[in-house]
Amino acid sequence: MLDMFRHSQSSETFRSGETVFMEGEPGDTMYVVLQGHVEIRVGEKVLEVAGPGTVIGEMALINLSNRSATAIAQDDCTLVPVDETQFLSLVLRRPRFALSVMEIMANRLRLMDKLVQYGNQSTHHVFEDPS
């Protein structure tokens, strides 16, 4: 994932503690984390820390719904925004991109299953691109 976006001309920088997006907001963009880490929160609970090579905000983009979580830069971050047009183009041109997004979503679904199963215990994970 990192290799596809490393030289993007449209990256955005977020300072530590800065909000990338808020739960409940309309979402029409996902982000690829190039550098740094982003906390994914629902309410005050940190569900995940997304690291380099992962995507955030993909659910709102895929089903054009409001954000299901809040994303906050854990440290200084560089993110690449991907809108719906770019997303669809990447899915058609680079099947590996689509598989990577599905893998990230499947990992998050498994994490949510654990939250439901084990309740309020600490279950957040750091996700980074394995390649």
* Residue 126, domain member (yes or no): no
Report whether pLDDT(124) > 60. Answer: no
Residue by residue, DSSP assigns 40-57 as EEETTEEEEEE-TT-EES
* Residue 124, domain member (yes or no): no
- Give exposure, 35-64, as e/b (b: 16+ Cβ within 10 Å): ebbbbbbeeeebbbbbbbbbbbbbbbbeee
* Residue 86, domain member (yes or no): yes
Q: 71-99 pLDDT, tens per residue?
A: 999 999 999 999 999 999 999 999 899 88
What pLDDT score does 123 carry?
47
* Residue 127, domain member (yes or no): no
CATH number at residue 81: 2.60.120.10
What pLDDT score does 128 carry?
57
- Taking the complete model, does pTM exceed 0.85, yes or no? no
Could you give the CA distance from residue 97 to residue 110 in angstroms, rounded to a whole number?
A: 20
What pLDDT score does 49 carry?
94
Query: Which has more pLDDT, 1 or 17?
Result: 17
Question: What pairs with residue 70 in β-bridges?
Answer: 41
Q: 39-66 pLDDT, tens per residue?
A: 999 888 888 899 999 999 998 888 888 9
* Residue-level length of the chain: 131
* Residue 130, domain member (yes or no): no
* Residue 18, domain member (yes or no): yes
- How many domains would you assign to the chain? 1
* Residue 123, domain member (yes or no): no
For the four alpha carbons of 52, 100, 47 and 17, in that order, the dihedral sign comes to positive
* Residue 82, domain member (yes or no): yes
Boundaries of domain holding 60: 2-118
User: Do the Cβ atoms of 81 and 14 come closer than 8 Å?
Assistant: no
